[in-house]
Structure 1
Amino acid sequence: MKVVQPIRDFEKVEEIMRILKGRSERNYILLMVGLYTALRISDILRIRVEDIQKDYLNIREKKTSKFRRVYLNPDLRKALRSYTADKQPHEFLIKSREGGNKPISRAMAYQVLKNVAEEVGLDSIGTHSLRKTFGYWVYKDTKDVAALQKLFNHSNPEETLRYIGIEQDSVDSLIRNVYKNARS
């Protein structure tokens, strides 16, 4: 299984947002929901328009079967209001164009993200990258590994740091700076 990474360059996050917003509002919303909620793709694809009419989303996570209340950030709510203005409550939020009321597949979600990531020069990106990107930037901003550990349902802080790429950043920095002080 391919290990995917968070998007560590916020300019790349913004560039991907601009590209998708200009091309496909549905794919832009897919990205936004992933980046702002830290939900797994399997949970994002099950969301219906009626589920996001409040300031929060109540969802039973598919993987863990746990109920979770997810606050909808004001930027995300604004994008969702615009996107869902002409949609019926029972419709899937990330609806397939292949007829009927079905969400896109996980494979299609992956393809959307992979293609735009390649376009901006990123690799090791997959559907889990959205969740990892959320964690990475929350950690960079707050250093609150305990809250992220709880959110991701991890058993220890080390697992969370490894999951969001912080452990890899530390290793990369160590290697990048080896012998730096010796040359001074």
Structure 2
Amino acid sequence: MENRINFTKAVIDALPIPESGKRNTYHDIKTSGLQLRVTSTGVKTFSVYRRIKHGDPERITLGRYPDMTIEQARREAVRIASDIAEGKNPAEVKRGHKAELTFSDLFGDYMERHSKPKKKTWAEDQAQFRLYLEKPLGNKKLSTIDRKSIAHIHSSITKAGYAPTANRVKALLSSVFGWAITVGLCESNPVIGIKSNKENQRDRFLQSDELPRFFESLAGEPNSTIRDYILISLLTGARRSNVLSMRWQDISLERAEWRIPMTKNGTPQTVALSPEAIEILQNRKPSDDAVFVFPGSGRAGHLMEPKKGWKRILERAGIGNLRIHDLRRTLGSWQAKTGASLAIIGKSLNHKSQNTTAIYARLDLDPVRDSINKATGAMLAAAGVKQSANVAKIKGTK
């Protein structure tokens, strides 16, 4: 048989492009029936070519190279050949292949049937999919996603400098495939066996000498939604997902309180709002019936991913190795600097600890509010923004 070659990446990448209107077909020497067709436009497509018992040969298209890897094509070719050997109709095999779920299909089912009903952090799952998974995996059939595919994604995120994020994405993928197995949508979890990155506990927070540059950079941020989101994150110490989905109906400007109906800990939380936080919210208060404090254009209706704005702010300030979550730690650190007890800090940040749960239950909001106000004042003083009125100057609007 002509054009019999060993399908390797180097060999396939080097294959010549046929003349206009023509197509070359190559046969894998390792997997019977597996072909690669190359068109004059450079498109390379895997297919299975098998003769049916008492019938004519049939060709079943598998997928395009390099979206489908050689290993995945070989595995599919063996599976289809086995189906045909058992007497299955190749047309039905092909229809079954086309009907197979893509990862986007699976993730959509996972969100609607598991994540949204059962996880308080479902919005983070959605954001991770859009940022890290939709492009490399979205259109792939589940049978083509193997451990190598997942390991490549984990490695890429890690090499970009986001080792903890890579672990979170890996955990999400494992959860998706684990759920899919329980509901009969797939048979194996390709994440199993991939090692997580070693994570060191972070102790990063904004230092006194960084605060003036940080606030100056905030004043220069052109996107008011991003600017105010960062300020409220810093002044409340609330978790990222809670601030992103902050709703007007949960805020009482009169009582200076923000009631979070449900947090990551599975409990509600009442956040004491400092005068500076109140001023920012008053300036943002819309005249219409807006739902979210930080609206967004996506399906969720609120801001989902402030990463680009955060990067701009840090670059202008000349500050490195600071994450949005570190703003939460910053408030707690400044509370400690201004004399707050660990119980007060834990109550204000809604930390869940078996050792201090009983203490938290006895605390009312007044000492927490005093601690937050004192810490906020100390931060603003260190930043050179000593008066509450100056927060409006940072905001740059009303």
- Common topology (TM > 0.5): yes
Q: Aligned match of 1:32 in 208, 231, 234?
A: 231
Cα distance change of structure 1 residues 45 and 59 upon mapping to structure 2, 3 Å threshold = same
Task: Calculate percent identity across the aligned residue pairs.
Answer: 21
Counterpart of 1:126, as a letter, is R
2:212 aligned with 1:11: yes
Q: Aligned match of 1:151 in 332, 339, 348?
A: 348
Cα distance change of structure 1 residues 13 and 151 upon mapping to structure 2, 3 Å threshold = same
Q: Are 1:4 and 1:126, in contact at CA under 8 Å, matched by a contact in 2?
A: no
Task: State the secondary structure of the residue aligned to 2:220.
Answer: helix
Cα distance change of structure 1 residues 80 and 127 upon mapping to structure 2, 3 Å threshold = same
Structure 1 or 2, whichever has the larger Rg, is 2
2:272 aligned with 1:75: no
- Alpha-carbon offset, residue 117 of structure 1: 0.9
RMSD of aligned Cα (Å): 2.5
Matches within 5 A, 1:11-160: 11-20=212-221, 23-54=222-253, 55-89=256-290, 91-96=291-296, 98=297, 102-105=301-304, 108-152=305-349, 153=351, 155=353
- Alpha-carbon offset, residue 85 of structure 1: 3.3
Q: Are 2:214 and 2:314, in contact at CA under 8 Å, matched by a contact in 1?
A: no
Q: Are 1:17 and 1:28, in contact at CA under 8 Å, matched by a contact in 2?
A: yes
2 CA distance for matches of 1:116 and 1:66?
32
Counterpart of 1:136, as a letter, is S
Task: State the secondary structure of the residue aligned to 2:294.
Answer: coil
Q: Are 1:110 and 1:126, in contact at CA under 8 Å, matched by a contact in 2?
A: no
2 CA distance for matches of 1:61 and 1:114?
29
Name the structure with the higher helix share: 1
Give the count of matched residue pairs: 151
Cα distance change of structure 1 residues 88 and 100 upon mapping to structure 2, 3 Å threshold = farther
2 CA distance for matches of 1:115 and 1:30?
14
Listed as ranges, the gaps of 5+ residues in structure 2 are 1-163, 166-201, 357-398
Q: Are 1:4 and 1:124, in contact at CA under 8 Å, matched by a contact in 2?
A: no
Of the structure 1 ranges 68-77 and 58-67, higher mean CA displacement relative to structure 2 is found in: 58-67
- Alpha-carbon offset, residue 80 of structure 1: 0.8
- Alpha-carbon offset, residue 134 of structure 1: 1.1
Question: TM-score, length-normalised on structure 1?
Answer: 0.70
Counterpart of 2:279, as a letter, is K
Listed one character per residue, the Cα deviations across residues 98-127 of structure 1 (whole Å, up to 9, x for unaligned) are 36671121xx22332222112211111222
Q: Are 2:251 and 2:258, in contact at CA under 8 Å, matched by a contact in 1?
A: yes
Question: TM-score, length-normalised on structure 2?
Answer: 0.35
Listed as ranges, the gaps of 5+ residues in structure 1 are 158-184
